[in-house]
Amino acid sequence: MDKPTAIAQIRQACKNLAVELMRIHPAVPALGHKATQDDIYKALFEITTQVEVIKKRLSKLESGADTPET
């Protein structure tokens, strides 16, 4: 697999993750248990943050801004 293909595959996986995370959010209130809801919302936020980190790293890699210094 070449780099552009790998980047495209990872980027698509990030999009898929984001869609699935958005599907979880509206279901949480139906649980009716505040502590559990709070933990789930916190976890969703953390996962979303990490997905964004991956996307930003890919953008830097594509732009050449993420090259090792020599």
- Indicate whether 68 belongs to any domain: no
Question: Which DSSP letter does residue 31 get?
Answer: G
57: tokens are 């790293």
- Indicate whether 36 belongs to any domain: yes
Q: What is the pLDDT of residue 60?
A: 95
- Indicate whether 69 belongs to any domain: no
Q: Which residues make Cβ contacts (< 8 Å) with residue 58, sequence separation at least 6?
A: 7, 10, 11
- Indicate whether 39 belongs to any domain: yes
Q: What is the tally of structural domains in the chain?
A: 1
Q: What is the pLDDT of residue 70?
A: 47
Contact of 49 with 56, CB cutoff 8 Å: no
Contact of 21 with 48, CB cutoff 8 Å: yes
pTM given for the model: 0.82
- Indicate whether 70 belongs to any domain: no
- Indicate whether 47 belongs to any domain: yes
Ranges of H-type helices in the chain: 3-24, 34-63
Confidence label for 8 from pLDDT (cuts 50, 70 and 90): very high
pLDDT tens digit string along 13-63?
Answer: 999 999 999 999 999 999 999 999 999 999 999 999 999 999 999 999 999
